[in-house]
Structure formats: C-alpha cells, structure tokens
Amino acid sequence: MLTLSEGDQARIADAIQQAEAKTSGEIFCVIAHASSGYMGAPLAWAAIVALLVPIPLIASTPWSALTVYLAQLFVFALLAVLLSRPRWRVWLVPRAVRQQRAHEEALRQFSANGLQNTAGRTGVLIFASVAERYAEIVADEGINAKVPQQVWDEALQALIAAIKAGHPDDGFVAAIERCGAVLAQHFPPGALNRNELPNKVVMI
C-alpha cells in the first residue's frame, strides 16, 4: 500500500519547489488509489462460472431443471458478491487492461490539472496508481521535443524502486530531482519564473 504522511507530502512539495526554482518548467505529482472501479469484472467472471454450473449437475445428479437453474443463480449471486471486493476486482482484470486504464488516467490527470496550459508547454506529471501498481511520467510536447525518453525512464525507475522498497516519498523526490535537472538544462528560469501549478502531491 502506497501511503504518504503529512511530512512525506511536505517533503515532496519542497522538492518540487527547489526543482522549479531552477527552471521555467512545471512539475506536478498525482497518486491515484485506483484508475478504474472495474465493476464489470466480477459480474463477467460470475456469469462465466454460473454458465458452467449445469454441466456437472445434469450429468451427476437427479435434480430437476428448476433446481439446477436455482443452483446456477445462487452461484452467480455468491460469486458476484465475493469477487466484488476491491482488491479482487482489480486482479480479475488482465494486466494489459489494468495498465491501459492507468495510462488513460495519467493522461486524464495531466489534462485535468492543466499541465497542457503551462507557458512553453513544459509541464511534467509524475503519476502513480496504487491498485494497478503502475507509474508513469507524462511530459508535454515542449519538453518531449528536446528530451529523450531515456531520461524519463531513468526517473521512473528511481520512483518505482523506492516504492517497492517501501519509501514512496524517496521515490517521488528522486524522480522530481531528475526531472528538475533536465528541465533546468533545457528550460532555464525566465525573468519572472511564475509558479503556474501548486507545489504538492495530489492524492485521489
């Protein structure tokens, strides 16, 4: 479970402030509890299992069609309830689908928090979704035109390694510092160097 204390959040906010003091770019951090509710997954799996229930019952019991049908309904209802637990819902969904949902949420958060509206198109989102165990760094087009993907991959690796070690605050600080360094290299602070986005980590 990825949790941040108030002290951790303050540390991340301070890291953002220090990084942005050296660049005209903007860094924003978001942690999502989950990128989707996956409400359809329990019903789909319960339906699949329930459809198979009549096969052994018809073959090995003298039950009437009505009894078999009621047993089928009972299995469907039971599984639908049991599999609806949040943690189970997520793992019923194929990994590729979970990652796609998390990627889509990262893009949505990038847009929802206005990173595409920064001057010079130099916004960078550091995103992590807990349920999907997914993390991504999304950079706006003004940055991607100058910065190779390897830079973001290295920052992302630092983030993921620290999260796995149980120190998510260290991971975000490391990713912020790496992103800040490359932003400072390509986008030095201007005369005003306005702070266009809040210096904080948003938890949703």
Q: What average pLDDT does range 112-125 have in this prediction?
A: 91
Beta bridge partners of 29: 126, 201
Q: Looking at per-residue confidence, does 68 or 145 come out higher?
A: 68
Q: What is the rounded CA–CA span in Å between residue 74 and residue 80?
A: 10
Handedness of CA 160, 163, 168, 170 (dihedral sign): negative
Q: Using an 8 Å Cβ cutoff, are 4 and 186 in contact?
A: no
Give residue 189's pLDDT.
84
Residue 165 exposed, middle or buried by CB count within 10 Å (0-12, 13-18, 19+): exposed
Q: Render pLDDT for 153-176 as a digit per residue (tens, 0 to 9).
A: 999 999 999 999 999 999 999 999
Lowest-pLDDT range of 29-33, 133-137, 189-193: 189-193
Q: What is the rounded CA–CA span in Å between residue 204 and residue 191?
A: 34
DSSP calls for the chain: -----HHHHHHHHHHHHHHHTT-S-EEEEEEES-S---THHHHHHHHHHHHHTHHHHHHH----HHHHHHHHHHHHHHHHHHTTSHHHHHHTS-HHHHHHHHHHHHHHHHHHTTGGGSTTS-EEEEEEETTTTEEEEEE-HHHHTTS-HHHHHHHHHHHHHHHHTT-HHHHHHHHHHHHHHHHHHHS---SS----S-SSEEE-
**Does CATH number 3.10.310.50 belong to domain 6-36+95-203?**
yes
Question: What are the tokens at 98?
Answer: 């979970």
Listed in order, the ranges of the chain carrying CATH 3.10.310.50 are: 6-36+95-203
Q: Is the pLDDT of residue 192 over 60?
A: no
Q: Render pLDDT for 20-41 as a digit per residue (tens, 0 to 9).
A: 999 999 999 999 999 999 999 9
Mean pLDDT, the chain, whole residue set: 92
Q: Render pLDDT for 64-112 as a digit per residue (tens, 0 to 9).
A: 999 999 999 999 999 999 999 988 899 899 999 999 999 999 999 999 9
